[in-house]
Amino acid sequence: MAIKAVVLDVGSVLEHLEDDPWPEIWIGRRERRRYLPVGHVVATLAEHDPTGDIVTGKISEAQMRERYARALGLDHEQAHQMMAEMWDAYCGELDGQMRDFAAGFRPVYATAILSNSPDGARREEQARFGFEELVDLIVYSHEVGLAKPDPAIFSLAAQRQGLSRMRSSSSTTTSGMSRPLRDVDGAPCGTVTRRGRFRRSARSGSLPRRSTSWLATPKAPSRRAAGRWRPDVYAATMGNVLDGIDEALASWIAAQPVWFVATAPLAVDGRVNVSPRGHDSFSILGAHRVGWVDYTGSGVETIAHLRENGRICVMFASFDRRPRIVRLHGRGMVALAGEVAYEQVVALHPAHPGTRAVVVVDIERVSDSCGYGVPVMDFVQERDLLRRSAQKRGPAGMDSYRAQKNAVSIDGLEGL
């Protein structure tokens, strides 16, 4: 009997997963800040092993988040950020070559994905990779209450594909992505279980599967390139020009504590300026528009350059263990108090006594790069010096300071 259907795993087949300990970042950080002994959080999490309950759907995404928040002492915002990083680590990167190879099975074979998964996996993987458009059927363990290597979940997948059962498949290598599948032992259903191997499955109970033990212990695959992949397009690993800012990229940007703004005057001898930014001041206003609250400082280069020519580049860089750089090139404008753009953006952020303007950028190009040369550093805290300085000067003092320091740029261009 010829092969009639193909079942694919996800982890290390359709997705690249790297061995980077995501929870160690959170666990180590929280233990240090709370003066807890090393290993305390892991011991707390391991009081009962939730792995089986997670992949069989007995523990929901909300319960998983609550469990980690309680063990790590996280507030609501920190728990939300932790889960965002967890999903990035869990999903990893799309393997475009394997995705294209898998797409080639249709329409000759019925196709399915069979994955051990926690609650939320369908949402996250569909948003990133569009697996529902790739195969005829997806069976997630948490949705059916069964998990690999239990033979029952293989039988369920076979039944849903209209097959009586799933039997051994060919061991034909697919590392070259061109060798045809061979019907070696009459298997009606083959299983692609890892990169480069179309192998025996189901009854041996030894299928490679994406590990979920890292949900309870400090080991995890790393995230890279959150928000990069569109459902219908495979891009190269790094150095991509993106269509715009989608939800995943917006989440990544929001997690970065510092970003940089570069502008320049038109004059060939004019001085290029790069300014670091921070605090809760940056807003994503759309797929191709961003804005931020501009605080009073000793210079006015960004404002002056934008008023002259509008050219600007905003850069975000990851300083944690998952390197990435994102650049937003576009045209910016400056809005002052009373203008619509000013009021719109200021309303999105905490009031700040040092606010002098709002910058809005219409983005013409969104791109990312590897960031491999950027060091790994821990974020400690925001500085409160800017706020305290503005409060000390008072409104009148700030007006006087801006009149003195912000009237013109270092090249004599108009500022405020």
Residue at which a domain ends, from 181, 204, 229: 229
**pLDDT exceeds 80 at position 146:** yes
pLDDT at 395: 95
Asked if 337 and 296 sit in the same domain, the reply is yes
What integer best gives the mean pLDDT of the chain? Answer: 78
Is residue 85 situated within a structural domain? yes
Residue range of the domain that includes 327: 241-405
Containing 240, the helix (H) or strand (E) segment is none
Asked if 54 and 197 sit in the same domain, the reply is yes
Asked if 47 and 123 sit in the same domain, the reply is yes
Q: Are 46 and 237 in contact (CB under 8 A)?
A: no
Q: Are 287 and 244 in contact (CB under 8 A)?
A: yes
Asked if 267 and 146 sit in the same domain, the reply is no
What CATH number does residue 325 fall under?
A: 2.30.110.10
Q: φ and ψ at 56, to 5 degrees?
A: -100, 10
User: pLDDT digit string (tens) for 207-229?
Assistant: 223 333 333 333 333 333 333 33
Cα angle value 334/339/341 (rounded, 5°): 60
Q: φ and ψ at 7, to 5 degrees?
A: -115, 130
Asked if 207 and 113 sit in the same domain, the reply is yes
Cα–Cα distance, 283 to 246 (Å, whole number): 13
Q: Tokens for 296, please give them.
A: 């009073």
C-alpha distances in Å from residue 358, one per residue of 134, 290, 335, 345, 347: 43, 11, 5, 7, 11
Asked if 223 and 303 sit in the same domain, the reply is no
Asked if 254 and 210 sit in the same domain, the reply is no
Q: Nearest Cα to 291, choosing from 339, 356, 338, 344?
A: 344
Residue at which a domain ends, from 178, 209, 229: 229
**pLDDT exceeds 70 at position 17:** no
Mean pLDDT of 3-28: 72
The amino acid occupying position 261 is V
Q: Tokens for 305, please give them.
A: 């350059």
Q: Partners of 276 in the beta sheet?
A: 260
Among 201-215, 230-244, 330-344, 346-360, the least confident range = 201-215
Q: How confident is the model at residue 404 (pLDDT cuts 50, 70, 90)?
A: very high
Residue at which a domain ends, from 184, 209, 229: 229
Mean pLDDT of 276-293: 95
Question: Does 17 or 131 have the greater pLDDT score?
Answer: 131
Question: What total number of domains does the chain contain?
Answer: 2
Question: Does 222 or 314 have the greater pLDDT score?
Answer: 314
pLDDT at 15: 82
Which residues, 6 or more positions from 218, have their beta carbon under 8 angstroms from its beta carbon?
21, 23, 24, 27, 42
Q: How confident is the model at residue 311 (pLDDT cuts 50, 70, 90)?
A: very high
Asked if 9 and 109 sit in the same domain, the reply is yes
pTM for this prediction: 0.48
Asked if 119 and 222 sit in the same domain, the reply is yes
Asked if 164 and 251 sit in the same domain, the reply is no
Terminal Cα-to-Cα distance of the chain (whole angstroms)? 79
Question: Does 168 or 129 have the greater pLDDT score?
Answer: 129
207: left (phi over 0), alpha (psi -120 to 50) or beta: beta
Cα–Cα distance, 32 to 113 (Å, whole number): 41
Asked if 144 and 169 sit in the same domain, the reply is yes
- The SS3 of residue 85 is helix
Q: What is the DSSP string of 13-82?
A: TTEE--B--HHHHHHHHHHHHTTPPTTHHHHHHTTS--HHHHHTTSS-HHHHHHHHHHHHT--HHHHHHH
pLDDT at 187: 36
Asked if 377 and 305 sit in the same domain, the reply is yes
Q: How confident is the model at residue 190 (pLDDT cuts 50, 70, 90)?
A: low
The number of angstroms, rounded, from the C-alpha of 194 to the middle of its chain's C-alpha atoms is 23
Q: Are 225 and 368 in contact (CB under 8 A)?
A: yes
